[in-house]
Amino acid sequence: MAFRLRGRALSWFSLFLCLGLLSGCLSADRRIILSKDQLRDIDQTVLPSLEAIQLHQSSLTPTAKPELTVGLADLSLEKAVFLALHNNRDLKVRQQGPVISGAFEQLEHGRFDAELFAESTYFRERANETSRSSGDRFSVSGNEVVSEVGLRRRLISGATLETTISQERSISDRAPEQQRARVGLSLTQSLLRGLGPAVNLASVQQAELETLASRYELRAFVEALLADTEKTYWNYILAKEEIAIFETSLALARQQREEVELRIDVGLLPDIEAAAARAEEALRVQALINARSLLEEQRLRLLRLISSEEGADYDQQLTAVSDPRMEPIPPADLHDRLSLAEESRADLHEAQLRLDQQRLETVVTRNGLLPRLDFFVTLGKTGFAESFSRSFDELDGKTYDLGAGLRLEYLLGNRTARARDMAARATRQQMREALANLRQLIHLDVRLAVNELERNRQQIAASRATRIFQQQTLAAEQERFEVGSSTALQVAQAQRDLLQAQINEIEAVVNYRVALVDLYLMEGSLLDRRGIVVETRATADQFR
């Protein structure tokens, strides 16, 4: 249906429409954040400013990408970490968390988008009426067409602004055709409950905080994945080293058993001496079987962390090439490590954001205790004529309509709102206590990790000295056995002690590596120390 507006009618329509469109300046996109004064009576904490709204896809970018080759024949620690960050199936699942949170953030902002609406109604009537002057009954038939189009928008002030333009056509067999045009503007403003940006933007800001919290949650998972990968890699190395030690020990026990049997054959030793040597060889075989089983277990665990396929990669063989031996350094600067943990721990940042969310919830529940009091005003210009186009021309006339009033709603007792506010405040207090408890646990985690690192550092030197002395003890015992002043059982015991010392030494080396990873994890610096950055990038195309 085409029509044109003439004269000042166009000016009226433009004015009303511009008022509706300019209401966007009071929308949520202005990023109004609660000030310190607005939150002072709640919790003396200022919410951080947030960046512009976007949907985010998290990605992981190591500073150096190792060259990938077919198979895993030369798997270094760096390559294992790289593969875990790019292939791990759990991580691919967790990466969608910030995207989902970003979508809900957009959903909350959508509540302040302008809404275009239109309606057209056709009404036909045939009725009997009585003349007031003569008392005669007569029939009346007619029809009416009403069309309306408008723009409605919710504002962060708690107001609803609506701009409409409507046209009504009435035809009756008892009256001439009449066309009625109207341009109107209505405003409804909350005066108590629902008043102001603080309460109306609370859900938007909570969604923004949820998105930030989901990113910290993802970072914590990446740190845990990285730590798990490194520790599994070193445990795989340890299993390989233990197999080499057990194989060497088995060869030595087999050689000792053959020598004892040879001496028994020539009559230099009694038959009873063979039992100890054979038992020692059997023990070495048992230990080697367990070590090989442990190596296979660690291989499967490591493949699970670094493989992208569902099951095919479990048949691949690994050759770990990184050396776990390093110069152990005593942990120092405990105070700095504690400060670093408070600044870097992702779970602490997430807990703080959750507390900020709950603080905003108390803003809403406290406002919900107030009665509902709305002020409303409507303003319209109306034009009457016998034709469609002239009805809009008549908008320049003196006809108008104006209405204003107050609307009050109050639930007696208001127990629901009071209960919600009580629960919100109690939850906020609970979360504040949980945050303080988390800080205390973080300090404990860092101190325990430092203590464990120092223990393993000292164990490296101590186990090395023990292994050297056990080698000397075995050599001396073998010499006494050669001259007949010792027995095969004593030699076997010395071999067993040396084997345990060798195992303890390599375990101390690997445990130091694992303890170092745990310390970096507890202080929240593992990703930074490995040169890994958790970035975010827009992914709006995923939802098209």
Q: What is the pLDDT of residues 27-52, one digit of tens each?
A: 454 443 444 444 344 333 222 222 32
Percent of the chain having pLDDT more than 70? Answer: 82
Task: State residue 167's pLDDT score.
Answer: 87
Each residue's pLDDT tens digit, 274-305: 888 888 889 989 999 999 999 999 999 999 99
Could you say which of 1.20.1600.10, 3.40.710.10, 3.30.420.40, 1.10.760.10 is the CATH number of the domain covering 56-65+72-107+203-358+422-543? 1.20.1600.10
CATH 1.20.1600.10 in the chain: give the residue spans.
56-65+72-107+203-358+422-543
Rounded CA-CA distance 468/542 in Å is 62
**Angstrom distance (rounded) from CA 223 to CA 507:** 24
Residues 278-290 as b/e (b if ≥16 CB within 10 A, e otherwise) read bebbebbeebbee
Question: How distant is the alpha carbon of residue 25 from its chain centre?
Answer: 32
- Asked if pLDDT for residue 436 goes beyond 90, the answer is yes
| Residue type present at position 523 | E
Render pLDDT for 87-116 as a digit per residue (tens, 0 to 9). Answer: 898 998 898 888 888 888 899 989 999 999
User: What pTM did the predictor assign?
Assistant: 0.78
Q: For residue 226, what are its two tokens?
A: 């990285």
Specify the pLDDT at position 358: 94
Question: Residue 42: exposed, middle, or buried by beta-carbon count in 10 A (0-12, 13-18, 19+)?
Answer: middle
Categorize the per-residue pLDDT at 535 as very low, low, confident or very high, splitting at 50, 70 and 90. Answer: low
**Quick one: which of 321, 295, 286, 315 has its CA closest to 303?**
315
Residues 419, 6: Cα–Cα separation, whole Å: 58
For the record, the structure tokens of 355 come out as: 């507390």
Give CA–CA dist 414/418, Å, rounded: 6
Q: Residue 533 is encoded by which pair of tokens? A: 């950055």
Q: Which two tokens stand for residue 150?
A: 């408008």
